[in-house]
Structure 1
């Protein structure tokens, strides 16, 4: 780097004196220098000198770009904070709109007039990442002496243009710092950020999240006045919150959105765009994406417009653009059982560490709920949470799905290559559900990633350093799988630095009361015209069952019985489950001469019976057996069951 900087300083001086460019100077820089010379830019300056005449108007005209880019800039800055870097956002003309950075670099930026509202095009400040990237309409990195203005020779800048969904230039994002910290990865970071901004802008346009009129908006809308009183609510809001108009007009907005400081937003004229927040209604939490825009008329705050939509509608699209997010927290776990509370306390403690975790337990015991809660309780909560069901990935695609692949790695591979789930989880957590289903060759590569935090894409040669916490989960007994040589012993011990064993429902029978009440309350909220009460006899009957499907099975049984209750009262007389429950109760006494049937035989016969009952429809059979389709396929192969027969 020092040799290159010395060369560039010499080449720059020679060009300033003679007007001739050294042939070793890369073409983008050489051509930019020549343009700057024609513009008449002072090479001994390089400071901003043209300010937008109306900065407020500039900001207003670019409010959507700023509102989308700001969270992404903050996310990037959270990773580089303290390293001497700053992030800058400009409009399509080169005027700076937003700046985030360390104090020392901001002081240096001030000296260069690298300030909001300043124009940073080539014809004003000379060759620089923002101006040159906008001119060339492509990502650009400038280091030290590559800058035309001498005042910028101590800087390294990486910029990438931002386009709308039609390919029109709308702005530029830039990351700058001391040239000693120059790295090619910086350009990759801002290029990825620009792509995320572009996609989110398209998403916002599609869903009209920033539209504040009742006639055109497709989201829920609540209008409040300066005294926090609800003045108007649209039908979409009533549907999302599942309340009546009369209830809505009596809502306390501070209770409904208790994490938002409305007085502060109104007093400081703050706007919140596209934030994930929780709406609390009747002790129920509804996760939404919301925008909050103060209403200001002739300088006076007259209230606020809140637009929102349920996160489940946009979460899949948002995840594709900016990663994944865990929804659940420890407070979402419904329990009064002391063993469960002890397990949660242990999980909270290890969540603060950065160790790998293995969650073992039966199906339906909430392993992913615990994994998401750990992520949200950890210091990685602002990073992505990527969940992968290892059993659902075809064997031949496991490595490329987890670790990614380079272009041309195999027939049918994307020509651009593809990042794997581990790369998408960088800076956050990856949850490998049903990890016991991984093929041995994929286990070997996973072990390497766990050992040094590096991976190589399929077909690649470059090692990528990752910062990913791994949480694995399985309903298998992995030590038994090790004995069967289906799972690597070294991977097991590397993965289970911290081990959590979930508690089956039969060992927390005292939780059935609170769980049933929770499920029924949610169903009552969902079905406003049907209010079902819970009889003690129903709870007592449920407590007799062994619950092999655990919480998932309990939820399904409660939902089925809820909808089968014609007289709006759950009791033992109208629950079909009660008629068969006695046959499912675990035997407490086994006679000495009773014939014991091996579990494998019972399982095989159960699968055959389910397939027969469902006329060979494996999807219906898997639901009847309360197992995943991938698990059903594996067991069919294991027992050599003929589906056609």
Structure 2
């Protein structure tokens, strides 16, 4: 070492004084000296001269690297302690971020500013193991006068760059000591240390990625060990349960999820999928759908993973994909009629309350349009809008359709059960169309639900709380139905806190102009901007009819005429009106003696028979004439044993 020391010292002196290059010096050293001279580095210094302005920020930025490197540095130092060596950790720029070593060597290092926060890049300090290793991007050792700065000539340093799992340079590990203790094995030590740090960084990155994934999952997730203790819980679970990590860490899972045999899932390697249950915590019950998966490693049970989602979140997703939303707003109601504008004004005021609403009016007058507008104008606009046509549901299925059913409730039921429309509408609005068609027994059950705000599924025992606003609609006069004992009076008053009466088209004939133009414009857009001219004579002709089917019927007629016309909209549907609508337009044709007093059922039967005869057996027209639903008409026909085939 002595001969090399003298040789390298002489070569250094010749280079610094004359620029002469000794060809026997290592190429990497010569190249580095040339760079140093070009960069104006002072060869008679070799001390740190650039300090980071914020050391705390510097340390924080490299916290992961320091966290990984520190134990490895301590392990190496335990083998070389009291041998005159120290270990230095630098970031990718060459700033020292951690130091560990013998006191005497660290004291010597302080004299060279070889301390935390100091920059030891080749460009600033000159040829040195850290700076040159970072420049060359490979492990490098400097001995004595190989250092460009004279103050480092008594040192030997070995450094190796550190990379992350993507082979990006992130730092450098350096082992320094007295020149007289120089040995090639120190370079091997730091190279092995750098490789170990790289592996640990990859593991840390994977761990962090798993943590990020764990906490980014929208479902709640709980990991329990084989002793049923909660070991991990993600952010979504904490949010759903409204608790902190300290509240549940190492808590027995059975205290939160009752009625589930966790031993079965852990010991027998069982799983549970989409199970609906209550999670009880802090005197609250949270309705959730849970999944349980056993954790097995090398044939041994390590616990289980539990994932869960609030039932109301699942219902929101269901509502989103099955279309349980209201698309119409008050601005979509086309009218210039003062009476109709008053209806809209009242409906807007009713929207801002949370009262139940009853909408009454003839078929085709836009009851659902108003219901959707009320929902979208209310504070529940972001919640679901679930529409139910009460007349279209078979009487034996009304309860399960509205309130849902539990598994095994009846033959043909889904094995996992099914939520009802009230559950799906939680947080929003349920629209009960053709409300007057509900059977009496169902009316009493609906009344109970309105009284306590809870539903019990068919075949179930647990009550489920819900928050739903009810909007009912009917084309029947419910007060008359109450007199006939077809509708419960108490239910009527619960539903009609706010009552809205729609206006038939025959009382707002001036709106026919607006409606026809609106329908035709929409049809033109739908048919690639096809243009059909609308003559006032066409609209005037439409105004002659009473429109018992109201706006719905007008729309159908305009659409029919549109597709049968070319260039100009014409009354192609005249024959239809002559043969059908005109024959039922004058409702006074139904012959019932005014002074004849008969029971209600006799009057009803006689009226239905007369209407069927007037409509030539057409059930749809008969229902329109009588202003009742077809399902109701069919029940009446069956009740009175009316033969409609004649």
Q: TM-score range with shorter-chain normalisation? A: 0.5 to 0.7
1:185 aligns with 2:190: no
1:415-474 superposed Cα distances (whole Å, 9 cap, x missing partner): 222211111111111100111111111111111111121122222222211101111101
Report deviation, 1:335: 1.0
Answering whether residue 227 of structure 2 is matched by residue 127 of structure 1, we say no
SS of residue in 1 equivalent to 2:381: coil
Q: Which residue of 2 aligns with 1:97?
A: 216
CA distance in structure 2 between the aligned counterparts of 1:511 and 1:199, rounded to whole angstroms? 38
TM-score by length of 1: 0.52
Change (3 A) 1:621 1:532: farther
- 1:364 equivalent to 2:364? Answer yes
Residue 331 of structure 1 and its aligned partner are, at CA, apart by: 1.0
Counterpart position of 1:569: 568
CA distance in structure 1 between the partners assigned to 2:315 and 2:393 by the alignment = 30
Quote how far apart the aligned CAs of 1:185 are.
3.0
Query: How far, CA to CA, are the matches of 2:205 and 2:563 in structure 1?
Result: 64
Q: What is the aligned partner in structure 2 of residue 554 from structure 1? A: 554
Q: Contact conserved, 1:156 with 1:181, CA < 8 A, in 2? A: no
Residues 422 and 492 (structure 1 numbering): CA distance in 2 closer, same or farther, change over 3 Å?
A: same
Q: Distance in 2 between matches of 1:599 and 1:561?
A: 37
Query: Which whole-Å deviations, capped at 9, do the CAs of 1:194-237 have from their partners, x for residues lacking one?
Result: 9978997xxxxxxxxxxxxxxxxxxxxxxxxxxxxxxxxxxxxx
Q: Determine the C-alpha separation between the residues in 2 that align with 1:502 and 1:472.
A: 13
On the 8 A contact 2:456/2:463 being kept in 1, the answer is yes
Q: Quick one: distance in 2 between partners of 1:195 and 1:447?
A: 23
SS in 1 for 2:334: coil
Query: Is residue 2:361 matched to residue 1:349?
Result: no
Q: Structure 2: which 5+ residue stretches go unaligned?
A: 1-202, 259-270, 292-306, 597-602
Deviations, residues 353-391 of structure 1 (Å, cap 9, x unaligned):
100000000000011111111111111111111111111
1:76-97 Cα deviation digits (max 9, x unpaired): xxxxxxxxxxxxx964xxx322
Does 1:641 find its partner at 2:642? yes
Q: Hey, what does 1:80 align to over in structure 2?
A: none
How many Å separate the matches in 2 of 1:531 and 1:377?
35
Q: Distance in 2 between matches of 1:130 and 1:460?
A: 31
> Tell me, what secondary structure is at the counterpart of 1:96?
helix
Give the superposition deviation at 1:608: 4.9
Cα deviation per residue 1:582-611 (whole Å; 9 max; x = unaligned)? Answer: 946967999xxx999999767535535757
CA distance in 1, matches of 2:458, 2:344: 38
Task: Indicate the residue corresponding to 1:404 in structure 2.
Answer: 404
Question: Helix, strand or coil for the counterpart of 1:560?
Answer: helix
User: Equivalences for 1:461-472 in 2 at 5 Å?
Assistant: 461-472=461-472
Aligned to 1:446: 446
Q: Equivalences for 1:238-317 in 2 at 5 Å?
A: none
CA distance in 1, matches of 2:626, 2:458: 37
> 1:17-166 counterparts in 2 under 5 A?
52=205, 91=213, 95-97=214-216, 127-128=230-231, 130=233
DSSP-derived class of the 2:528 partner: coil
Question: 1:607 is matched with which residue: 600, 609, 612?
Answer: 612
Partner of 1:417: 417
- When normalised by structure 2's length, the TM-score is 0.52
Q: Secondary structure at the match of 1:538?
A: helix
User: Which aligned pairs between 1:357-396 and structure 2 lie closer than 5 A?
Assistant: 357-396=357-396
Instruction: Say if 1:538 and 1:426 are closer, same or farther in 2 by CA, change over 3 A.
Output: same
Distance (whole Å) between structure 1 residues aligned to residue 568 and residue 331 of structure 2: 29
Deviation at 1:575, TM superposition (A): 4.6
Match of 2:82 in 1: none
Superposition pairs for residues 213-228 of structure 1, below 5 Å?
Answer: none
State the Cα deviation string for residues 290-349 of structure 1 (Å, max 9, x = none). Answer: xxxxxxxxxxxxxxxxxxxxxxxxxxxx63757711111111111111111111111111
C-alpha distance after superposition, 1:518-573 (max 9, x if no partner)? 111111112237421111111111111111111011111111111222x4212458
Q: What SS does structure 1 have at the residue aligned with 2:430?
A: strand
Q: What stretches of structure 1 of length at least 5 have no aligned partner?
A: 1-49, 60-88, 102-113, 159-168, 201-317
Corresponding residue of 1:508? 508
Equivalent pairs counted in the alignment come to: 402
Label 1:478 to 1:129 Cα distance change in 2 as closer, same or farther (>3 A): farther
Q: What corresponds to 1:338 in structure 2?
A: 338
Greater gyration radius: 2
Q: Tell me if the contact between 2:548 and 2:625 (Cα under 8 Å) persists in the aligned partners.
A: no
> CA contact under 8 A between 2:475 and 2:627: conserved in structure 1?
no
Match of 2:6 in 1: none
Whole-angstrom CA distance in 2 between matches of 1:589 and 1:636: 22
Matching residue of 1:17: none
Does the alignment pair 1:430 with 2:430?
yes
Q: What is the distance in 1 between the residues matched to 2:605 and 2:615?
A: 15
Q: 2:390–2:434: 8 Å Cα contact kept in structure 1?
A: yes
| Secondary structure, aligned partner of 1:400 | helix
The residue that corresponds to 2:540 in the other structure is: 540
> Shift in Å at residue 394 of structure 1?
0.6
Q: 2:581 matched to 1:478?
A: no
Find the residue that maps to 1:410 and give its secondary structure.
coil
Mapped contact 2:390–2:432 kept (Cα < 8 A) = yes
Q: Report the CA distance shift for 1:626/1:562 in structure 2 as closer, same or farther (over 3 A).
A: farther
